[in-house]
Chain A
């Protein structure tokens, strides 16, 4: 199956706090796990991605944690800033080499 479940649907975090967004998948054939960030009026942009041979990848304030046995991966945003307010999508690469999009998480960082 190609199902992807993303949570939470929305998230409010204080400035400086940690934002955590989760994604669960069913298809063990997925082998590329990206997170896309979308601002209002713009197209999505790749934020960070991981392959299943590592359990964690960090780029600046953004970290992906990957749990292969649980079939879950999560996005952590450290020291969250108002400029991080956006919608985030997990979108693992499916068996037809096309992205399977989660439902999205609207993140609001309160100053």
Chain B
């Protein structure tokens, strides 16, 4: 299994809602990532988890809250989002966080619309 699975594929939420994005991989990868991608732009790194611990937070607003319950799962909890947060949210994983295996495996993303 070489897939990263993200759910839901599409999400529409109001600015007062609380929702969660989910990501799962069964490749034994020890690093997992959240990226945000606006239309016609490259992915922007949000968070990195290494061995289930948060290792990088790219100054992301607190209305985005990541969680790594175990080595296969990654969640992104959303609360009080703004319309400008509408984007494609991508989850990725890699075998090791640094150096030895740089290849990232991406999921298909969650297309989020904030109304």
Chain A contact residues, CB within 8 Å of chain B: 32, 34, 41-46, 49, 89, 91, 93, 96-99, 101-104, 106
**A-B contact number at CB 8 A:** 49
Q: How far is the CA of A49 from the CA of B103 in the complex (A)?
A: 9
B30 to chain A, nearest CB (A): 13
B41 A104 Cβ-Cβ under 8 A: yes
Using CB atoms, name the residue of chain A closest to B107: A43
Q: Say whether A102 contacts B48, CB under 8 Å.
A: no
Pick from A32, A102, A103, A104: contact of B102, CB under 8 Å: A32
Contact B56 A43 (CB under 8 A): no
Knowing A93-B102, A97-B99 touch, does A43 contact B109 (C-beta < 8 A)?
A: yes
Bound-complex Cα distance A101 to B37 (A): 11
Which residues of chain B are within 8 angstroms of A91 by Cβ–Cβ distance?
42
Q: Are B48 and A43 in contact (CB under 8 A)?
A: no
Contacts of A103 in B (CB 8 A): 41-42
A-B contacts besides A44-B104, A45-B106, A101-B43, 7 pairs, CB < 8 Å: A42-B108, A49-B103, A89-B43, A98-B45, A98-B56, A103-B42, A104-B40
Distance to closest chain B CB from A101 (angstroms): 4
Interface of A, secondary structure class, is loop
Asked whether B102 lies within 8 Å of A43 as measured between CB atoms, the reply is no
* Complex Cα gap A2–B10 (Å): 33
Whether the pair A46, B103 counts as a contact (CB closer than 8 A) is yes
**Which chain A residues lie closer than 8 Å to B44 at the CB level?**
101
Q: Residues of B contacting A101 with CB < 8 Å?
A: 42-44
A selection of 22 A-B contacts at a CB cut-off of 8 Å is A32-B102, A34-B103, A41-B108, A42-B106, A43-B92, A43-B107, A43-B108, A43-B109, A44-B43, A44-B106, A46-B103, A49-B103, A89-B42, A96-B56, A97-B97, A99-B102, A101-B44, A103-B41, A104-B40, A104-B41, A104-B42, A106-B40
- Any chain A CB within 8 A of the CB of B32? no
- Complex Cα distance, B111 from A41, in Å, reads 9
Task: Kindly state the separation between the CA atoms of A45 and B90 in the bound complex, as whole angstroms.
Answer: 12
